[in-house]
Amino acid sequence: MKKKSILIFTIMSIASASFAENKDLKEQSANPLLQPWTGPYNGIPAFDKVKEEYFIPAFEAAFAEKKAELQKIASNKEAPDFKNTIEAMEKAGATLNRVRAIYDIWSSNLNTPTMTAIQEKIEPLIAAFNDEIVQNKPLFLRIEKVCNDTVGKKYSVEQHQLLKRYYNDFVLAGAKLSDADKAKVAVINSRLATLFTQFSKNQLADENEKFIEIKNESEMAGLPADLKSAYAKNAKERGKSTWTIANTRSAVEPFLTFANNRELRKQVWTMFINRGDNGDANDNNKIIPEILKLRYERAKLMGFATFAHQKLSDKMAKTPEATMKLMESVWPAAIARVKEEVADMQKIADKENAGIKIEPWDYRYYAEKVRKEKYDLDQNEVKQYLQLEKLREGMFFVAGELFNLSFTQVHDVPVFHPDVTVYKVEDKTTHKLKGIWYFDPYARTGKRSGAWMTAYREQEKLSGNVTTIVSNNCNYIKGSGNDPVLISWDDATTLFHEFGHALHGLCSDVTYPTISGTNVARDYVEFPSQVLERWLPTATVLQKYAMHYKTGHPLPQSLLEKLNNASKFNQGFETTEYLSSALVDMKIHLAGDKVTDPDQFEKETLAALNMPSEIVMRHRLPQFGHIFSSDGYAAGYYSYLWSDVISADATEAFTEAGGLYDKNIANKLYRNVFSVGASIDESTGYRNFRGHDPDVKALMRSRGFPDK
């Protein structure tokens, strides 16, 4: 153990040598990353003082501080008890938590070549430091002693949950292994940290560097004016005088939906689905097999059949077999619906004498034509009412109706980018501060793709009444000048989804940070976000906050009825696109170390599943950051479906009571789900809310599939 700790800090010192010469870092106290967060709202991050060169020295000091705190706990001569061991560990590492929070913001939102180089040095060191903690035998023995010595102790349910979390986390990380096997795990984790960083670096490079330039405006026929404007703005940022389609989902999917030029649709689609798979310096196919092999080796050391078995051992699903049963029960209905959808598209293409067979780059385009024909619904017409800022107000309204929260923009808080706005969140009745919400909605170079929620600080009561700080980060295309930003229906759904995660953090009311907010089982964490999506289509939101960007008129009743009539439209595509990724994720991790060619595995697995040729996975393996940029969602992408079963069932609790704004059901949802974090077992919490376990038939009904 001592050799490892010496090695860690020797490497850290070498890594930071070039930075140590910086005149701004004459002493550690000059590094703002190491300072407590001060100012209003229980303290806020000093984003205006952050510089990239501060990160490595800050980590060096924060590691040393936490190491000393944990060593003090491990060497305590007093008999281990909940307070001097578990609660002491909860309080340890405050500086490191702050440093890590800001580091994650910079690496996800403001990545530069310098920041990437810092990540490449830091990530293996973080992995090594985490291994040193879980492999600290005296520390683990104290945790184990407290867990075993519960007879006669008056622990609360929350304390029991925290004990279980600590014990399981340490055991699953290798705390009970032999010294030799612990050393092997440490080597594996260090290498994985490097590979994860490289995978993300390659994916971001493809998204930042590749684009399609369009020089003739006639080739953009079919695109709405706001999209043309956004593509022109992107071109200007790249030093072009025409239009460019960036290699990001927010830029590509609207183009595939509206562009009449089929050849250009194919080019844009091909660029996007080949991220990380171009046989160049950014290709991820060589990285994936090594990640899989290392995960398998680590799982075997821990006594599990595969990484998937290890990963699910402490989740709601418990086993890969349980997840496969759920996914395979939905899959036949999904691909059957795809055949119906494709047939409808082909009829329109034939009627137009297009002379084509529907291909993946045609799906979104012809789906819109079918939507128009079947439901007289034009998504571009709907988009004119979907102003980003108005929808944000609609989210605040829903938060107020469900959870009695108010959001007020504040201007006394530094931000990490000019696009970011900040809001204080309070209880509407008592005006008690619940937390701070940062909103970072727009795409930019150096920002990872997609949309996400982050907790900069967890809510807790152990160290006083500490309120949370959360953010939502998206990649919507920013318009030109002062034009309102219009987003698609899918993007609006994503907006509400991510806000659901934020509300899960903001509503938290527990004692201990480790089990606060969104720190629940991975296959439960998507439930609060997915259930919040259900409020977007309500008349209450749309007729008040969906305002035409030119006339200011609210979305008319006739258009609302069309939206409701088409609510289950295209569910074959939506379900199959997602579920194919979830199935491949689980199958590739059940394959152990056998996969040497990810492209071949993907192709053969999809063929065995009878994957419709007109659709590709939502995330192909070479760009599947959910499962290859960290262990986070690896063998866990199924969790969106698992959670949606719960969200569909929960929605029926509202409809059975009379509607989605029923105060009694909303209060039960708050008390048993949104406010409790993991302070109670997730299944127990849901049963307390619903009165029974979630029913998969609710999911089938919500998607318009047969529920038999």
Q: Rounded mean pLDDT of the chain?
A: 93
Write out the two tokens for 188: 């594996």
Alpha helical stretches, state H, 304-439: 307-312, 320-351, 363-375, 379-383, 388-403
Asked if pLDDT for residue 440 goes beyond 80, the answer is yes
The model carries a pTM of: 0.91
- The answer to whether 202 and 210 have CB atoms below 8 angstroms apart is no
Catalytic option among 123, 132, 458, 498: 498
Give the span between the Cα atoms of 58 and 45, in whole angstroms: 14
DSSP state of 554: B
- The answer to whether 508 and 528 have CB atoms below 8 angstroms apart is no
498 included as an active-site residue:
yes
pLDDT digits (tens, 9 = 90+) for 92-141: 999 999 999 999 999 999 999 999 999 999 999 999 999 999 999 999 99
Confidence of residue 708 (pLDDT cuts 50, 70, 90): low
Tally of helices (H runs) and strands (E runs) in the chain: 29, 7
Asked if pLDDT for residue 20 goes beyond 60, the answer is no
For the ranges 216-230, 353-367, 471-485, 627-641, which has the lowest average pLDDT? 471-485
Which residue has 């976000």 as its token pair? 529
Mean pLDDT on 452-464: 96
Residue range 2-204, CATH number: 1.10.1370.40
- Say which residue, 18 or 58, is predicted with more confidence: 58
Which residue has 């056998």 as its token pair? 594
Which residue has 């992107």 as its token pair? 234
- The answer to whether 566 and 574 have CB atoms below 8 angstroms apart is no
Asked if pLDDT for residue 621 goes beyond 80, the answer is yes
Asked if pLDDT for residue 43 goes beyond 90, the answer is yes
Asked if pLDDT for residue 349 goes beyond 60, the answer is yes
Q: Nearest CA to 690 among 575, 531, 545?
A: 531
Distance of CA 523 to the CA centre of its chain: 12
Residue 267, CA distances (Å) to 242, 261, 270, 365, 528 in order: 17, 10, 5, 14, 37
Residue 554, CA distances (Å) to 269, 544, 561, 595 in order: 34, 6, 14, 53
Q: Provide the pLDDT for residue 637.
A: 97
pLDDT digits (tens, 9 = 90+) for 255-303: 999 999 999 999 999 999 999 999 999 999 999 999 999 999 999 999 9
pLDDT digits (tens, 9 = 90+) for 311-335: 999 999 999 999 999 999 999 999 9
Asked if pLDDT for residue 667 goes beyond 90, the answer is yes
Q: Provide the pLDDT for residue 29.
A: 66
Q: From the CA atom positions of the chain, what is the Rg in Å? A: 25
Give the span between the Cα atoms of 516 and 50, in whole angstroms: 27
- Say which residue, 517 or 18, is predicted with more confidence: 517
Q: Provide the pLDDT for residue 6.
A: 26
Which residue has 């689980």 as its token pair? 586
Task: Return the percentage of the chain with pLDDT > 90, whole number.
Answer: 92
- Provide the residue count of the chain: 708
Residue range 388-547, CATH number: 1.10.1370.40
Mean pLDDT on 552-562: 94
Q: Provide the pLDDT for residue 151.
A: 72
Question: Using N-to-C axis directions, what is the helix angle for 249-258 and 363-375, rounded to 10°?
Answer: 60
DSSP for 198-253, please give it. HHHHHHHHHHHH-EEEE--GGGGTT--HHHHHHHHHHHHHTT-SSEEEESSHHHHH
pLDDT digits (tens, 9 = 90+) for 408-439: 999 999 999 999 999 999 999 999 999 999 99
Decide the pairing of beta strands 452-457 and 468-476: antiparallel
Confidence of residue 483 (pLDDT cuts 50, 70, 90): confident
Decide the pairing of beta strands 433-442 and 468-476: parallel
Q: Provide the pLDDT for residue 35.
A: 96
Domain with CATH 1.10.1370.40 in the chain: 2-204, 388-547
